[in-house]
Amino acid sequence: MSSSGTEKARELPAQIDTSVAHSARVWNYWLGGKDNFPADRAAGDAYKEKYPLIEPFAKESRDFLRRTVTYLARDAKIRQFLDVGAGLPTANNTHEVAQRIAPESRIVYVDHDPLVLLHVHALLTSTPEGATAYVEADMRDTEAVITGARETLDLEQPVALVISDVLGHIVDWDDALSLVRRLVDRLPSGSYLALSHSTASDEAHRAVQDEYNSSGAIPYIFREPETTIAFFDGLEMVEPGMVSWPNWRPDANTGTLTDRAGWGAVARKP
């Protein structure tokens, strides 16, 4: 895309309002991406000014995704991935990580954001041996997700369900929990769930997020690890269990180990 926000705006469908901050574009900005606009950068800078750790948090979340997909492809030998609520592509997307390890890996991304649709070409690259596809669906519509995934994945064989720090956008806890359980129920034995969720580091962080949520941007609800561990009920936790993002199987590329603002885990369906 063009580096000019004005030029980019001319390429966008009318339903995408670049004058209002969008959570996916703000996140993209914090990650150092280019798919954002002045309103997104202003919102991101305002958040960062009051809570400077937000950029490291965003990078920790992305690195958690890299390490979990690496584990699933390399150690668990999973060759099928269903990435729900994929968001804007940045570095180390699920298909890139998986196919570097196992070129025959098949990946399906799910999102319903029209902004993501504009960038779907970046998600649909694939090795010749594997496949990458995109399903336009609300992740809460289990039937649409599963029906779309079946076109690329063999749902009789193990699948890694990847839900990377998006469930905070579902405000109602019961709805979020039901979503995960419905999707896991549709996958066969030997499948995995890799899931992460943000929590507030402290009251200052919570206050900044509350202000952001009231700005007109898509809200994100923090939940504590003691709550979100319920997503894994009935599944077999992979060591080290549910921990802060940097503490999940850190490697040479992992930054400082902290217990700050995001937790996650990987678990196997028996």
pLDDT for 62 beyond 50? yes
CB contact set of 239 (below 8 Å; sequence gap of 6+) = none
249-260 per-residue burial string, b: 16 or more CB within 10 A, e: under 16? bbeeebeeebeb
Nearest to 62 by CA among 98, 29, 23, 90: 90
Kindly report the pTM of this predicted structure: 0.88
- End-to-end CA distance of the chain: give it in Å, rounded: 44
Asked whether 83 and 162 are in contact (CB, 8 A), the reply is: yes
**Amino acid at residue number 146:** I
Nearest to 232 by CA among 166, 187, 168, 181: 181
Nearest to 236 by CA among 196, 166, 184: 184
pLDDT tens for each residue of 83-100: 998 877 777 899 999 999
pLDDT tens for each residue of 27-54: 888 888 888 889 889 988 999 999 888 8
pLDDT of 117 reads 74
Tell me the C-alpha distance between 242 and 265, whole Å: 5
**Which pair of tokens denotes residue 93?**
């997307």
pLDDT for 14 beyond 80? no
pLDDT tens for each residue of 237-253: 999 999 999 999 999 88
**Which pair of tokens denotes residue 10?**
């001319």
pLDDT mean over 72-86? 96
CA dihedral 259, 235, 24, 201 (to 10 degrees): -20
171-197 per-residue burial string, b: 16 or more CB within 10 A, e: under 16? eeeeebbebbeebbebbeeebbbbbbb
DSSP 238: P
pLDDT of 3 reads 33
Question: What's the chain's average pLDDT?
Answer: 88
Element containing residue 196 per DSSP (H, E): strand 192-198
| CB atoms closer than 10 angstroms to residue 115 | 19
Asked whether 65 and 94 are in contact (CB, 8 A), the reply is: yes
